[in-house]
Amino acid sequence: MNTWPPGEGEMARRIRSMNWATTPLGPIEHWPQSLRTALDMVLAMSRPASLFWDPGHIQLYNDAYVAIAQDRHPTLLGAPVAEGWPDAYEVAIRPVIEASRKGRSTRLTDYAVTLQTVDGGTEERVFTVDWSPVRDEAGAVAGSLMLAMEVTERRRAERSLRDSEARHRLLVGSWAQAVWEADPNGVVIADSPSWRPYTGQALEGWLGYGWVNAIHPDDRAYAEQQWREAVAARSLVNAEFRLRSPDGGWRWTNVRAAPVPDAGGIIEKWVGMNIDIDARKRAEMALQEGEERQAFLLKLSDALRLIADPIEIQKTATRLLGEQIQASRVFYVLVEEDEDTATILANYTSGVSARLGRYSLSAFSSFAAGEWRSGRTASTDDVDADPRFGEIERAAYASVSTRAGFGLPLIKGGRLVALLGVNQSTPRHWTDDEKELAREVAERTWAAVERTRAETALRRSEERLRALFESIDEGFSEMQVILDEEGHVVDWLHLALNGNFSRVTGIPDITGRLASEVFPNLEGEWFRRMDLAYRTGEPQRFETELAELGRWFDNYITRLGGEDDKRVFGVFGDITERKLAERTLRESEEQQAFLLKLSDALRGEVEPRQIERTALDLLASHLSLDRAYITTSDYGKGETEVPVEVQRIDLPSLVGVFPHSEFPESASLVNDGTLVIEDVAKTTQLSGRNRQSFNAIKIGSLIGVGLRKGDSDIFWTLAAAMSGPRKWTSGEVHLMEQAAERVLAAIARASAEAALRQSEERFRQFAQASASGLWIRNAETLAMEYVSPAVGAIYGVESEAFLGDVQRWAALIVPEDREAALQHMERALHGEPAVHEFRIRQPNDQAFRWIRNTDFPLMGHDGAVERIGGIAEDVTEAKLAVEHQGVLLAELQHRVRNIMAMIRSMALRTADGAVDIEDYRSLLEGRLMALARVQVLLTREANAGGSLRDIIASEVGAQAHGGDQFEIEGPDIRLSPKAVEVLTLAFHELATNALKYGALSTPQGRLRVSWAPFEKRDCTWLALDWSEESAPQQPKPTRRGFGSDLIEGRIPYELGGSGKVVIEPHGAHCRLEFPLNDGESILETDAPAPARLLGGTLDMTDAPDLTGWRVLVVEDDYYMAGDTAAALRGAGAEVLGPCPGEEATFELLKSSTPTHAILDLNLGGGGARFEIAHALRDQGVPFIFLTGYDPEVIPAELVDVVRLQKPVAFRKIVEAISRL
């Protein structure tokens, strides 16, 4: 069992019994000697102490520390400090431990920390702690020593602090002054380094009995006696006397010495110390002198207080001072404004003559006079020996028996006004205490003199005031206050009244009567003001109402005498009229404030019923009503409804409908104006039935304000009611009337706003659903204020992008249309609606769109244009549709015109080959039907051409006896519109011929049609064979018919290929070859404007003679080209061509030069072309245009060219050529 650390204390036992092997310190027997030594010191200490040892700052502490640990004990023992004190570790403990590790000591004085308590709360505890580093055997810091003192409880802290400070002063004083030793006989045999600096003695002067020489001569005998008595009695020395200080002066010291005996009780030496008590001794002497001075000054004040004469005051003051300081002469001087002329009215003398009368201060001493004017004391101990005085000044002082003296100036308002002089007939040193005492006397003499003068002036003033108060219009009263034991005013007696008191106050003469008697219910404010006026001397002005009189007064109360004078004067003015006016104004302001509050509250409500309820709540609260309600009366129905009310919780509800028969008078009286009833039970305005009805619903008084609601017969009433009688003020009635108007206005406003919201919501829904854009602009700035979603869709931007500056909208309009669009808006500004169109360019896809705007003015209440409204429509598609409709109409007209031209040619050629009229009809009908089938095919396929197989099958199938009579073989070929047109007619002619004369004329006949594509001249061509077998024998044709001309003439001309028909015994054989190029049918058009020229003939009789002319004909229609060429030849011209296209034309021009030319503008489709025209103009060949186009398609450089519109009479062509 461990025997260390020794001791029976609690902590020593706990440390011995604890298993330290489980802690960072390890087994106790292995602890280093430095830790053991430090712990022995801590356990031996009587004050709280604790060690914190590394590693981990493990805490060990003594028994005294347990009081600090409190409920943390004993768990703190052996625990790291961070775990034991987590709530104080970071803020207080860790910083000082870190300082200890660095070898520094730390003191924390009155350091407050917040610690946790057992119950989970916190408490603030205050400590004073000293932290010091503890080093190990190698000199390194191994831990920290903390000496702690808890100073939490203030009283204990204060007592402990005083004890600590006393001990501290003793300790510091002991070490700061002298400590010494002497032999048993008091002989100093050893040096004292502290004695010599304290007394200024050298070592040789200190040794032996030299210390006696450092004692003040007056105290030396006393000191030696105290020492000898102590040595003789072997007792302690405790004596006080003065010692010399190093500066040559004297300081009071307290000598304490004690004998030190040896083991046998024999005194070996004396040990002593000197404690400096100079400050205390001087303070005690000053206190004694101060007490004597205060006794004198008290005596002076008592003497002066009883004197009312200024001269007597001066005599008494100078006498008492002279006797106190035993001066030869004391005098009080009054200094005039020149600060040199002085008057002495009284003085005290002892053994010298008096000094009374007027003097010049400068005559005695110009030096002293200058000091006094500057507010400084002038003093001399001996005039004759003082170099500041000249011979004349010394003679002046000698004449008044003065060798020493001083003068104390009194400066008031920056000027020397008085002087207290003290003279001595012999030289004398004046102490500071004597001068300070004289200053006190001077000030008190001045104050007493001024007091007597003020009291004299006051008496005279009171006499004048009394005469004045007798003449003033206000009431005046002189009163004497009555005090309680504590000196406070509890009543007052009216001593005197002026003549106007009764008139102003309306109170009869109350002289000699107490206030409590006259006014038993007087308010406490009167007593408080009277008390303040009397005790402080400060005037009191206040306003009060005397309820007994029903009047208001403006009161002015003051104490005119001193503190002992119990008289108080009062002036009273009747301000009843002003107070009533103020009350009226205040009520008006309160009403206005309430009405403003009411308006603000109602402004936020949107429902009429809630407006009424809010108003009733505010009125009931403001007027302290038992009930507030609203009625609507329908006099046609004879009933009144109460839709809403607020009432006291114990009152019955009025909500419901009441017949007018129950309230006959009140229902009608409210129509005549505001109904005010102060007592339902006593009013004569109501019948018994009406009063009974009011009593039944607990209404004893009321205000009813009726207003007509709109233009209807409904009468609306706002009512305020009490369950009992109430005297309604005019202000309350007016407030109800104002409130009623505001409530009804708010209801009208809410209804209008509700209608407006509904209208706006309908408008919003309409705007949201409208495909047209709706917008509104500010008329003054043109800034956009509203746009519907459709506007954004129309313009291709977000709708919000238009809000604001008009230029945001204008920027989207194409520059050419922008100015016109803005000008149309100006029309709306002048009150005229405007419909206009303009183009925009959408930012999102850069597309151009046509917009139709309808602008119209929106007028304000004054009829002026406030805003501009508008409707925006995207009419791009409509404009395109109109344009397309025109194109379609023109195309239809052109197509009909071309068909008619072809029919004309077919009719002419059919007539040439017909045997008779029936044959002519049959041939023409078949050809027209074929032409119709071409028309159907081209329009059905949208001018995309057609299938070769379908064309052949359609034409042959219509003529054959059955499907087995013909055979069609070849790939599926898509023909161009031009090829469809020509080949359909060709196949019709072949099929018709086969039906009449060939293979289809007999059931045994067979027809085979085959085709195949092939390449020729870098182009795909088509070869087609039409072969008939088993046809009846027919004679060989003697002339070329329509079909042969079509196949052998038109196909090569219009398709650029070749065609050949051979009539053999077994039937016809046809071979067609042509390139598969794109080409437009004559039934197609680029929609030129329709031509209105009709008719035409190939008979050129009487036509102009064109003999010798070489006319180039360029026309892609075979029949038109042939007819034109025939007409020209008939007029004698040589025809070059005709040429179906540009390629053939330019090839011909290489070898032949025409003199004139006729040009078709639409060669092979694709629109008007002018390459041939430019080439002929370059060669100087005149020409005319033969076209279906309007003049607008012709370029400017060719507008002078003669243009003939198809179809045209061939004679006109000849005539036009002849005029070139």
Check: CB of residue 1111 under 8 Å from CB of residue 918: no
Q: For 559-687, where are the alpha helices, taking DSSP H only?
A: 576-603, 608-622, 664-669
Quote the pLDDT of residue 290. 66
Q: What are phi and psi of 370, to 5 degrees?
A: -65, -40
C-alpha–C-alpha distance, residues 703 and 724, integer Å: 13
| 902 and 1019 housed in the same domain | yes
| Angle, alpha carbons 410-415-418 (nearest 5°) | 35
Q: Is residue 714 part of a domain?
A: yes
Amino acid at 1173: A
C-alpha–C-alpha distance, residues 64 and 69, integer Å: 9
| 946 and 1043 housed in the same domain | yes
Look up residue 54 and give its two tokens: 């590394």
When pLDDT is cut at 50, 70 and 90, the band that residue 171 belongs to is very low
Q: Is residue 811 part of a domain?
A: yes
| 550 and 665 housed in the same domain | no
E strand or H helix at 1054, and its extent? Answer: helix 1051-1055
User: How many CB atoms within 10 Å of residue 472?
Assistant: 15
pLDDT, mean of residues 370-380:
89
Residue 1089 has pLDDT above 60, yes or no: no
Residues 6+ apart with CB under 8 A from 241: 215, 216, 219, 220, 222, 223, 252, 253, 255
| 426 and 339 housed in the same domain | yes
Quote the pLDDT of residue 1140. 86
| 302 and 447 housed in the same domain | yes
Helix, strand, coil percentages in the chain from 3-state DSSP, rounded to 5:
45, 25, 30
Task: List Cα–Cα distances, 62 to 20, 47, 82, 410, 628, in angstroms.
Answer: 17, 8, 19, 69, 80
Q: Is residue 3 part of a domain?
A: no
| 742 and 630 housed in the same domain | yes
B/e letters for 1077-1090, b = 16+ CB within 10 Å, e = fewer, are: bebbbbbbbbbbbb
Mean pLDDT is lowest, of 154-158, 313-317, 592-596, for: 154-158
Residues 6+ apart with CB under 8 A from 73: 66
More reliable by pLDDT, 940 or 164: 940
Residue 531 has pLDDT above 60, yes or no: yes
Residues 6+ apart with CB under 8 A from 702: 675, 676, 677, 680, 694, 719, 720, 721, 722
C-alpha–C-alpha distance, residues 686 and 294, integer Å: 87
| 1118 and 1061 housed in the same domain | no
pLDDT (tens digit per residue) in 88-119: 888 888 998 898 888 898 888 877 777 777 77
pTM for this prediction? 0.34
Check: CB of residue 773 under 8 Å from CB of residue 872: yes
Residue 644 has pLDDT above 90, yes or no: yes
CA torsion, ordered 1039, 1041, 1047, 1050, to nearest 10 deg = 110
pLDDT (tens digit per residue) in 1181-1218: 999 998 866 677 888 889 899 988 877 888 889 999 99
| 821 and 787 housed in the same domain | yes
Amino acid at 1047: I
User: Residue 549 belongs to a domain with what CATH number?
Assistant: 3.30.450.20
Residue 1095 has pLDDT above 50, yes or no: no
Quote the pLDDT of residue 870. 92
Q: Is residue 719 part of a domain?
A: yes
Quote the pLDDT of residue 1099. 56
When pLDDT is cut at 50, 70 and 90, the band that residue 175 belongs to is very low
Q: Is residue 1061 part of a domain?
A: yes
DSSP letters along 289-326, please?
HHHHHHHHHHHHHHHHHT---HHHHHHHHHHHHHHHHT
Q: Is residue 411 part of a domain?
A: yes
Quote the pLDDT of residue 166. 42
C-alpha–C-alpha distance, residues 435 and 253, integer Å: 29
| 821 and 687 housed in the same domain | no
What is the tally of structural domains in the chain?
A: 8
The parent domain of residue 944 ranges over 887-1075
User: Residue 1029 belongs to a domain with what CATH number?
Assistant: 3.30.565.10
Residue 550 has pLDDT above 50, yes or no: yes
Residue 254: name the closest of 275, 229, 228 by CA: 275
Q: Indicate the residue among 874, 896, 922 that finishes a domain.
A: 874
| 268 and 370 housed in the same domain | no
Indicate the average pLDDT of the chain. 83
Residue 316: name the closest of 334, 289, 296 by CA: 296
Residue 588 has pLDDT above 60, yes or no: yes
C-alpha–C-alpha distance, residues 1010 and 707, integer Å: 105
pLDDT (tens digit per residue) in 421-452: 999 999 999 888 888 888 888 888 888 888 88
What's the length of the chain? 1220
More reliable by pLDDT, 981 or 462: 981
C-alpha–C-alpha distance, residues 24 and 58, integer Å: 8
Q: Given the DSSP bridges, would you call strands 540-546 and 946-947 parallel, antiparallel or unpaired?
A: unpaired
Quote the pLDDT of residue 721. 94
Quote the pLDDT of residue 638. 85
Identify the residue whose tokens are 């005029």: 1219
| 839 and 906 housed in the same domain | no
Look up residue 1160 and give its two tokens: 């078709």
Mean pLDDT is lowest, of 31-45, 664-678, 731-745, 822-836, for: 664-678
Q: Indicate the residue among 105, 122, 152 that finishes a domain.
A: 152
Quote the pLDDT of residue 895. 63
Q: Is residue 805 part of a domain?
A: yes
Mean pLDDT is lowest, of 627-636, 818-827, 1001-1010, 1081-1090, for: 1081-1090
Residue 887: name the closest of 652, 695, 1090, 751 by CA: 1090
Residues 6+ apart with CB under 8 A from 831: 857, 859, 865
pLDDT, mean of residues 695-709:
87
Q: Indicate the residue among 716, 748, 780 that finishes a domain.
A: 748
| 307 and 395 housed in the same domain | yes
E strand or H helix at 1064, and its extent? Answer: strand 1058-1064
pLDDT (tens digit per residue) in 757-776: 887 788 788 877 787 888 89
Q: Is residue 790 part of a domain?
A: yes
Q: For 56-112, where are the alpha helices, taking DSSP H only?
A: 66-69, 81-84, 86-88, 94-101
Residue 160 has pLDDT above 60, yes or no: no
Residue 174 has pLDDT above 50, yes or no: no
Mean pLDDT is lowest, of 920-929, 1034-1043, 1132-1141, for: 1034-1043
Strand partners, 729: none
User: Residue 643 belongs to a domain with what CATH number?
Assistant: 3.30.450.40
pLDDT (tens digit per residue) in 1001-1013: 888 889 999 999 9
User: How many CB atoms within 10 Å of residue 37?
Assistant: 12
pLDDT, mean of residues 491-518:
84
Identify the residue whose tokens are 């050129």: 1100
Residue 149 has pLDDT above 70, yes or no: yes
